[in-house]
Amino acid sequence: MQNSKFMTLVRSKVLPALGKFGNNKYMIVLRDGMIISVPFTIFGSIFMIIANLPITGWNNIIKPYLPILNAPINMTTGMIGLIVAIGISYTLARENKIDKLSASVIGAIAFIICELNDKMVLDPANLGSTSMFTAIVIALLSGTIYDFFIKHKIVIKLPDSVPPAVASSFVSLIPAIVILGLAWVLRCLFHLDINAFITWIFSPLTVGLGSFWGMEILLFFTLFAWTIGIHGNNTVGAISGPVYGAFLMDNMHKAMNGAAATHITADGFLNFGMNMGGTGAILGLVICMMFAKSKRYKQLAHLGFVPCIFQISEPIMFGMPVVLNPMLSIPFILVPMILQGISYFLIKFGVIHMVIASVPWTTPIFLNGFLITGGDWKAVVWQAICLAFAVVCYWPFFKALDRQALKAENGSEENSKSKESIVGDAAKD
């Protein structure tokens, strides 16, 4: 009875609220706008991994070639702020249904103006991870102002006979002057350190998400959202993604310059415990399902195993299902939180290397742990322990469900045989 009331509350109150939050225009913009940085981050990570191979004497061998290897890192991850500014500006314009090209260029130039140093000269170092939040804020503000001018028709309207490309450039003229002029006034005339100001505003968020309890709270809300049918990674990730992405960029550049990485919860950290086979260490559940006695779960295991190897968990999440399944919600939430908590301290005390590289999110377990830590074999061993732990924890919960499914299947077969017998007897009569 209590469970029924709880589920009714979840469906009537929690689901609509979380769904509305996740589908908010600015959450979509943040999520989709950050995606543009992924190929550049991965490309830079390839060279980062090459420069940090765990081979005895490799540092001496590679040292003459470091400038060549660092060049693509500087031109990709070293420009991540600018890339994000373009991505956010583009996606906001897409959502607002206005000229995407003009909005992207205006947002990028406004960001560059804000990143001028005290000599009013652009320092390429200012376009990297340290400016990530500035890029997001400036892109959102410039896009919003641009949309305001377009929607209120505060633009230069040329006759229809003028070519569309020319007309479009003039439409963007007034909003561009206002946006770029505002950036110039704040940075160049008032000498406001916009990057430092915005970084200070977001400092509580970065400190919180970089801490043990901040990370655990984030995991809880991500996992809980999944259990009630909300894509937790997209919903919560829109907030945490920029922070963890900035952490990764900072770690990469420190490693590139021979310094020690400092951010434990850099993007990729959740490959230990959380994202094994997909969110919630689902691969552990799939391995349990391989030993199912019921036909239903055995067949589902065969269907879901290969996708889970490549971190795609939806067939199991919705086919099992894990979503809205109170019994599986317990290990689904607790297993990743326990494993990531232990991982946090293993990295903090130097047992496992920090994350200094990025790989595609579909990279299988063990390989991703090895690559993102710069080739640390201990990371692979720890992932194997995490997977074994997940299997052990999921096992009793799955066996209870398997017994229920087997009982239902046996009951169905008996009923079917009984019906066939009755039909056969009737035919004889």
Return the pLDDT at 218.
Answer: 92
What percent of the chain is predicted at pLDDT more than 90?
43
Residue 5 lies in a domain: no
The torsion angle over the Cα atoms of residues 8, 12, 16 and 18, rounded to 10 degrees, is -50
Among 149, 176, 209, identify where a domain stops.
209
Check pLDDT > 90 for residue 176: yes
Question: Quick check: is 165 in a domain?
Answer: yes
Give, in degrees to the nearest 5, the angle at Cα 368 between 48 and 69.
Answer: 10
The pLDDT of 326-349, averaged and rounded, is 94
Total domains present in the chain: 2
Q: Is the domain of 124 the same as that of 246?
A: no
Over 70: is that where the pLDDT of 16 sits?
no
The stretch 85-101 carries a mean pLDDT of: 93
User: Is residue 106 in a domain?
Assistant: yes
Higher pLDDT, 324 or 420: 324
pLDDT classification of 317: cutoffs 50, 70, 90: confident
145 and 176 assigned to the same domain: yes
Q: Residue 423 — pLDDT band, cuts 50, 70, 90?
A: very low
The mean predicted confidence, pLDDT, of the chain is 86
CA distance 244 to 129: 10
197 and 297 inside one domain: no
Both 233 and 346 in a single domain?
yes
| 421 lies in the same domain as 346 | yes
Examine residue 377 and state whether it is found in any structural domain, yes or no: yes
How many Å apart are CA 9 and CA 6, to the nearest integer? 5
Q: Is the pLDDT of residue 336 over 80?
A: yes
- Phi (first) and psi of residue 194, to 5 degrees: -65, -40
> Has residue 347 got a pLDDT over 90?
yes
Instruction: Kindly state whether residues 366 and 394 are assigned to the same domain.
Output: yes
Residues 132 and 242 in one domain: no
**Residue 9: inside a domain, yes or no?**
no
Task: Among 209, 243, 260, identify where a domain stops.
Answer: 209
Give the residue-averaged pLDDT of 415-427.
52
What integer is the mean pLDDT of 340-362?
93
How far is it, in rounded angstroms, from Cα 397 to Cα 131?
46
Peptide bond into 307 cis (omega under 30): no
- Mean pLDDT value across residues 83-93: 94
- Say yes or no: 156 and 235 in one domain: no
Give the tens place of pLDDT for each residue, 278-304: 889 999 999 999 998 988 888 898 888
Question: In 3-state terms, what secondary structure has residue 190?
Answer: coil
Residue 191: predicted pLDDT: 92
315 within some domain? yes
pLDDT confidence band for 53 (50 / 70 / 90): confident
Q: Across residues 308-335, what is the average pLDDT?
A: 88
> Would you say 243 and 341 are in contact if contact means Cβ atoms under 8 Å apart?
no
Where a domain ends, among 155, 178, 209?
A: 209
Question: Lowest-confidence range among 11-25, 47-61, 308-322, 352-366?
Answer: 11-25
Q: Is residue 276 in a domain?
A: yes
Main-chain phi, psi angles of 122, to 5 degrees: -80, 120
Note the pTM of the prediction, 2 decimals: 0.80
Find the range with the poorest average confidence among 81-85, 127-131, 171-175, 365-369: 127-131
The predicted model gives 50-64 an average pLDDT of 81
Say yes or no: 279 and 199 in one domain.
Answer: no
* Residue 25 in domain: no
pLDDT of residue 248: 92
Which of 358, 262, 365, 352 minimizes the C-alpha distance to 54?
A: 352
Are 389 and 326 contained in the same domain? yes
For residue 105, the model assigns a pLDDT of 94
Confidence of residue 1 (pLDDT cuts 50, 70, 90): very low
pLDDT score of 425 more than 70: no
Please give the residue that has the higher pLDDT: either 48 or 379.
Answer: 379
Of the CA atoms within 13 Å of residue 272, those in its CB half-sphere come to 32
Average pLDDT over residues 328-342: 94
Domain that holds residue 262: 226-427
The model's pLDDT over 227-285, given as tens digits with 9 standing for 90+, comes to 877 777 777 777 888 889 889 988 988 888 888 899 999 999 999 989 999 889 999 99
Strand partners, 122: 116
Model confidence band, residue 415 (pLDDT cutoffs 50, 70, 90): low
- Same-domain pairing of 179 and 241: no
Query: For residues 114 and 155, which has the higher predicted lDDT (pLDDT)?
Result: 114
Show the beta-strand stretches assigned E in 181-317.
Answer: none
In angstroms, the CA 174 to CA 141 distance is 16
Q: What is the pLDDT of residue 167?
A: 74
- 312, 362: one domain: yes
Q: Place 9 in a pLDDT band, splitting at 50, 70 and 90.
A: low
